[in-house]
Amino acid sequence: MDKLVIEGGHTLEGEIYVSGAKNSAVAILPATLLTEETCIIKNLPSIKDVYYINNILLQLGAEVEESGCKFIINSLGVDTYEVDFELSKKLRASYYFVGALLGRFKKARVPFPGGCDIGIRPIDQHIKGFEALGARIKIEHGIIWAEADELIGTSIFLDVVSVGATINIMLAACLAKGTTVIENAAKEPYIVDTANFLNAMGANIKGAGTDEIKIKGVERLGGCEHCIIPDQMEAGTFMIAAAASRGNVLVKNVIPTHLDSISAKMREMGIKVIENGDSLQVVSNGRPRSANIKTMPYPGFPTDLQQPMSVLLSIAEGTAIVTESIYDGRFKHVDELRRMGAKINVEGRVAIIEGIKKLSGAPVCATDLRAGAAMVIAGLTAEGETVINNLTHIDRGYEKLEEKLLQIGAKLKRIP
Ligand code: EPZ
């Protein structure tokens, strides 16, 4: 189990590059199953979750040629609709193979997904969508069985704003007969990115990025080329790290509007965030002021940055109220931050963070992906040395994290 040893107290300065978006990549790669022609996907992040999805494509019989951050995929040879149990439980996004295989074969057999332990993560809205399209769903021995004589377009109102369900229904509806309308749809940039990819394949999707998405079924989809959008969560993590280290960092290769909620919150805390083109300059202004956070679906403050932001709030001036309205178990980083001296009280889905001057380095654990990112930020800003055990979560979602941070003045090293 790899460890990360961080020497805290160094100001981060310089330029840092953002990679392709994990949550776009893990949706778009399964979507390539919807055509027998070749798809070229560029700007893929080299992270474990992309590797896990790629393993499932290979297991199904697809041909994948990797060259750097580009995959050339052809799934003509895919001859099964059954996903391997071990591969499926490696990550949450394996559920996209239900929508993709249903769309391709009108059949799918996908073991329940895995993913971060951040609270209960049902897939009832995915199933509601598939059944509305005419699929019969059976859940047996931890496996999702889906089958349809044919998929017929219909109107689906999501009870919960769900990124996964929105994308999964889009995947199944592309080749359905007639028009599907997803109402109360999620609006995250990954949804727009996936819809753009599907439309480049010949799909007819309108309204992605709004709460009503219209998918007109087409006869067939073809191959295409697509470049994954930058990862707003990686970008936000770097922005928060820059501010926590009282540094001055240019975060490059971003789409600033995707980060509006983080930029606005940081400005509210007295941190300078300057937009120019495809980069954001974060300039610390001394100790930040505290502010309240309430996580909401996009364009609200993202739940995936609640944990990293909690670190910045734990060393801010004042007391913050952090409300995690998306998940009921996304405070596992709090115990680890307490080891470093943070003053945080958790009541259900609310954390009260009383800012202190400095965290102190300590041996800590990364309990899930974004908690891991939070611990890295805490180690960078703390007094003394922090050792983060178990980097598997961090490696699932952050490409070359150490190399990127070393380039802007961090002092850290990975110990195998
Ligand atoms: C996606 O997860 C992301 N993962 C998560 O990022 C992100 O936190 C989440 O969206 C919210 O933005 C991927 O895209 C692979 P949801 P997803 O369906 O699709 C409830 C990371 O750190 N819900 O939008 O699983 C659910 O319990 C990861 O990169 C249902 O009730 O999230 C949650 O409370 C962590 N029924 C809320 O909706 C359902 O059928 C939002 O979940 C589906 C979801």
CATH 3.65.10.10 fits 3-19+230-415, yes or no: yes
Q: In angstroms, what is the span from residue 116 Cα to ligand 1's centroid?
A: 10
Is 26 near ligand 1, meaning CB less than 6 Å away? yes
- Residue located nearest, by CA, to atom 16 of ligand 1: 162
Q: Quick check: do 3-19+230-415 and 22-227 share a fold?
A: yes
Q: What is the pLDDT of residue 223?
A: 98
Judged against a pLDDT cut of 90, whether residue 115 lies above it is answered with no
Q: In angstroms, what is the span from residue 149 Cα to ligand 1's centroid?
A: 29
Torsion sign (Cα): 97, 103, 109, 113: positive
Is 47 near ligand 1, meaning CB less than 6 Å away? no
Nearest alpha carbon to residue 9 among 247, 262, 207, 182? 247
Torsion sign (Cα): 231, 276, 266, 16: positive
**How confident is the model over 183-213, as pLDDT tens digits?**
999 999 999 999 999 999 999 999 999 999 9
Ligand 1 pocket, mutate which of 160, 168, 190 (most atoms under 8 A from CB) = 160
Q: What is the mean pLDDT of the chain?
A: 97
Is 295 near ligand 1, meaning CB less than 6 Å away? no
Q: In angstroms, what is the span from residue 248 Cα to ligand 1's centroid?
A: 32
3-state helix, strand, coil in the chain (%, to 5): 35, 30, 35
Judged against a pLDDT cut of 90, whether residue 117 lies above it is answered with no
CATH architecture of 22-227: Alpha-beta prism (3.65)
**How confident is the model over 47-82, as pLDDT tens digits?**
999 999 999 999 999 999 999 899 999 999 999 999
Q: How far, in Å, CA of 130 to CA of 248, rounded?
A: 48
Judged against a pLDDT cut of 90, whether residue 46 lies above it is answered with yes
Q: What is the pLDDT of residue 120?
A: 78
The answer to whether the CB of 193 falls within 8 A of the CB of 163 is no
Task: Summarize the confidence of residues 364-386 as an average pLDDT.
Answer: 97
Band the pLDDT of 118: cuts 50, 70, 90.
confident
Is 196 near ligand 1, meaning CB less than 6 Å away? no
**How confident is the model over 280-311, as pLDDT tens digits?**
999 999 999 999 999 999 999 999 999 999 99
Judged against a pLDDT cut of 90, whether residue 109 lies above it is answered with yes
- Residue located nearest, by CA, to atom 5 of ligand 1: 304
Query: Any idea which residues carry the catalytic annotation?
Result: 116
Q: In angstroms, what is the span from residue 246 Cα to ligand 1's centroid?
A: 32
Roughly what angle, to the nearest 10 degrees, separates helices 124-132 and 96-105?
A: 10
Buried b (16+ CB within 10 A) or exposed e, 64-94: beeeebebbbbbeebeebbbbeebbbbbbbb
So where are the chain's domains?
3-19+230-415, 22-227
Judged against a pLDDT cut of 90, whether residue 353 lies above it is answered with yes
Q: How far, in Å, CA of 397 to CA of 373, rounded?
A: 9
- Residue located nearest, by CA, to atom 41 of ligand 1: 162
Number of C-beta neighbours around residue 267 at 10 A: 12
Q: What is the pLDDT of residue 19?
A: 98
Judged against a pLDDT cut of 90, whether residue 12 lies above it is answered with yes
Q: What is the pLDDT of residue 114?
A: 84
Is 303 near ligand 1, meaning CB less than 6 Å away? yes
Q: What is the pLDDT of residue 116?
A: 81
Is 175 near ligand 1, meaning CB less than 6 Å away? no
